[in-house]
């Protein structure tokens, strides 16, 4: 029997708190309903009160859900069809509404770094003509990919919003920018993991937009300290996430996914995850050598060229930002102005 595709998600109906679900095409089934079917076959899901709980026991839960979805597709669980509802009838939340840790890998796409060398020479310490800066940057990237280390920073969980929620633009931020990224969801505790074993610790993938306040990145009053990632990256709603988590087993080639961002219908970012300087396995290897990765943690793997900084066009109230990653999903967010009481 062919494998039936499903994704882990988080939904709600009016007046009720969010609950974990699986999505099969345009239908949604609550994990509580799956639990009843699992118990009938002497199988049990664990930690299904939240998607975080599901990921805490990912290997076990994934195997049970796989089996149940196969039985459902074969018509062996007819009563479960009664518990499925149309996707459009529910509100879709971020698949992990409050992740414990969020890691971001910076300057990780060749196209992005080359564009930075052209647009912001001071940020890379590269002088000379644009052509000379590009050549220097390309040489540095080759050397960094061969002998260097990924560059990672943190983003706060309070920045997370759902795939269709508004992006709130702070009134004291002049340059809010977009950065569409493939997001890795950790499914198994990782500490000092080798590159060869790294992908075995991935539960799945989702889509994220690492919104950034460019005018808050550098602290001019503390030049010796330099960047201020908290102020730049972690305002409320600065991480639209979703719409669901596609299990890693259903994504055989995460390093060859097309990633696109449209602003008001205009294509702004268009690249492949193959452009990463440090691939996903190398990022996990590096991060786990520095910290402990827990189930449910997120890794934003970098963003390609085509940010607002390049176009000299930043987010404004009324803008609609649509991010798509082939085989993973789409997020669609409208920008609104922040209001103060």
Task: State the pLDDT at residue 132.
Answer: 75
CA distance 134 to 41: 60
Q: List average pLDDT for each run of 10 residues in the chain, which is 341 residues long.
A: 83 93 96 89 91 98 95 82 89 97 95 74 59 77 88 98 98 97 98 98 98 92 86 97 98 98 98 97 98 98 96 97 98 94 47
Q: What is the 3-state secondary structure (H, E, C) of the chain?
A: CCCCCCEEEEEECCCCCCEEEEEECCEEEEHHHHHHHHHHCCCCCCCCCCHHHHHHCHHHHHHHHHHHHHHHHCCCCHHHHCCEEEHHHCEECCCCCCCCCEEEEECCEHHHHHHHHHHCHHHHCCCCCHHHHHHHHHHHHHHHHHHCCCEEEECCHHHEECCCCCEEECCCCCCEECCEEEEEEECCCECCCCCCCHHHHEEEEEEEECCEEHHHCECCCCCCCCECHHHHHCCCCCEEEEEEEEEHHHCCCHHHCEEEEEECCEEEEEEEHHHECCCHHHHHHHHHHHCCECCCCEEECCCCCCCHHHHCCCCCCCCEEEEEECCCEEEEEEEEECCCC
Query: Where does the chain hold its CATH 3.90.850.10 domain(s)?
Result: 102-108+150-337
CATH number of the domain at 102-108+150-337, please?
Answer: 3.90.850.10
Task: State the pLDDT at residue 118.
Answer: 67
Task: State the pLDDT at residue 341.
Answer: 47
Both structure tokens of 158: 């309070």
Evaluate whether 240 touches 165 at the Cβ level (below 8 Å): yes
- Across the strands, what pairs with 247? 204
Q: Checking phi first, is residue 70 left (phi over 0); if not, alpha (psi -120 to 50) or beta?
A: alpha
pTM for the model: 0.94
């Amino acid at each position: 029997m062919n494998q039936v595709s499903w994704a882990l998600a988080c939904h709600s109906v009016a007046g009720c708190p969010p609950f974990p679900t699986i999505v099969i095409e345009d239908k949604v089934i609550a994990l509580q309903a799956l639990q009843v079917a699992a118990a009938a076959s002497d199988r049990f899901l664990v930690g299904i009160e939240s998607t975080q709980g599901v990921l805490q026991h990912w290997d076990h839960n994934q195997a049970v859900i796989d089996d149940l979805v196969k039985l459902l597709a074969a018509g062996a669980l007819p009563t479960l069809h009664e518990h499925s509802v149309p996707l459009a009838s529910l509100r879709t939340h971020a698949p992990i509404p409050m992740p414990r840790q969020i890691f971001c890998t910076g300057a990780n796409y060749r196209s992005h770094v080359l564009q930075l060398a052209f647009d912001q020479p001071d940020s890379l310490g590269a002088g000379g003509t644009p052509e000379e800066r590009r050549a220097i940057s390309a040489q540095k990237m080759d050397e960094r990919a061969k002998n260097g280390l990924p560059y990672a920073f943190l983003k706060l969980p309070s920045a997370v919003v759902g795939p269709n929620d508004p992006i709130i633009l702070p009134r004291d931020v002049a340059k809010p920018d977009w950065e569409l990224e493939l997001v890795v969801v950790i499914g198994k505790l990782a500490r000092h993991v080798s590159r060869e074993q790294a992908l075995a610790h991935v539960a799945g993938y989702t889509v994220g937009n690492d919104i950034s306040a460019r005018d808050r990145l550098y602290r001019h009053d503390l030049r010796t300290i330099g960047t201020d990632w908290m102020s730049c990256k972690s305002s409320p709603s600065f991480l639209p996430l979703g719409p669901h988590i596609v299990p890693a087993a259903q994504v055989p080639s995460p390093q060859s996914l097309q990633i696109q961002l449209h602003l008001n219908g205009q294509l702004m970012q268009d690249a492949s995850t193959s452009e990463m300087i440090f691939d996903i396995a190398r990022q996990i290897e590096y991060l786990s050598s520095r910290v402990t990765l827990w189930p449910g943690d997120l890794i934003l793997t970098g963003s390609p060229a085509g940010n607002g900084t390049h176009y000299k066009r930043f987010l404004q109230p009324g803008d609609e930002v649509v991010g798509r990653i082939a085989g993973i999903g789409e997020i669609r967010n409208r920008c609104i102005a922040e209001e103060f009481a």
